[in-house]
Amino acid sequence: MDLRVVLVEPLYQGNVGSVARVMKNFGFSDLVLVGPCKLEGEARAMSSHARDLLENAKIVSSLSDAIEDSNIIIGTTGVSGLKFDEHLRVPAFSPREIKQRLTGASGKVALLFGREDQGFCREELGFCDMIMTIPTSEVYPVMNLSHAVAVVLYEMSNIEAGELPLADEFDVRLLHDHIAEVLDDIDYPEHKKEKTRLMMKRIFGRACLLEREVQTLRGILRRIQQNLR
């Protein structure tokens, strides 16, 4: 399994350095930083013997650039199922449950970690195929960024990859666009479209679709459109 850690606008360079260190602890090296803070002496000090990983991290200006070649996008959150955005944060899976769903597949998986103070915005959560949350005490559920990364990578470090290639990101995007077309064709209620499209994204995300499955689903959608016309 090709796993990428994406930090979205990290605020503290010490956290970025610590993330590089725990990535090397568990055998991962693909680190992408979206609009990070300045990375200076503190970041290098906290990275310790993973300074090479920190220095080789890819820095991009947008989340879409960080995930453009990923087959599955998983967003981590310390707060799940808020009533005002339930469709954005549910269902939420533990790292162990995510690992079970990915076992046996092959492809690039992007693990997204949000800002230390605000996490993700609505648009960023909308990019995610699955939502992950670490089971913690309800008294104080939000973890330090580097600690959360350590827990997740510990679970993922011995994942058993397989020979079933995940569907290409471009083809999955075409599937979602196709679903949007069909919703228009059947006069689906406008006020429900956003939630429904996201719900379908999450369903397909946790299914870890293969290439043949995506093509079959698009074939069904084409037949629906033909019959409608």
Average pLDDT over residues 204-216: 94
Neighbours of 55 (CB within 10 A): 12
Average pLDDT over residues 153-168: 89
- Hey, which CATH number is domain 2-165, 3.40.50.10330, 3.40.50.300, 3.40.1280.10, 1.10.1760.20? 3.40.1280.10
In a 10 Å sphere around its CB, with 0-12 CB exposed, 13-18 middle and 19+ buried, how is residue 192 labelled?
exposed
- The single residue listed with the structure tokens 């970025």 is 16
Chain mean position to CA 195: 18
What distance in Å separates the CA atoms of residue 102 and residue 96, rounded to the nearest whole number? 10
What distance in Å separates the CA atoms of residue 110 and residue 168, rounded to the nearest whole number? 14
Confidence at residue 81, expressed as pLDDT on a 0 to 100 scale: 53
What distance in Å separates the CA atoms of residue 39 and residue 80, rounded to the nearest whole number? 31
The ranges assigned to domains in the chain are 2-165, 169-228
In the numeric block, which tokens belong to residue 135? 């089971």
Neighbours of 84 (CB within 10 A): 7
What distance in Å separates the CA atoms of residue 156 and residue 224, rounded to the nearest whole number? 39
Rg (CA), the chain: 18
Question: Which of the four pLDDT bands, split at 50, 70 and 90, describes residue 9?
Answer: very high
What distance in Å separates the CA atoms of residue 140 and residue 118, rounded to the nearest whole number? 15
What's the pLDDT tens digit per position in 13-72? 999 999 999 999 999 999 999 999 999 999 999 999 999 999 999 999 999 999 999 999
In the numeric block, which tokens belong to residue 192? 């429900």
**Which DSSP state fits 6?**
E
> What is the reported pTM?
0.90
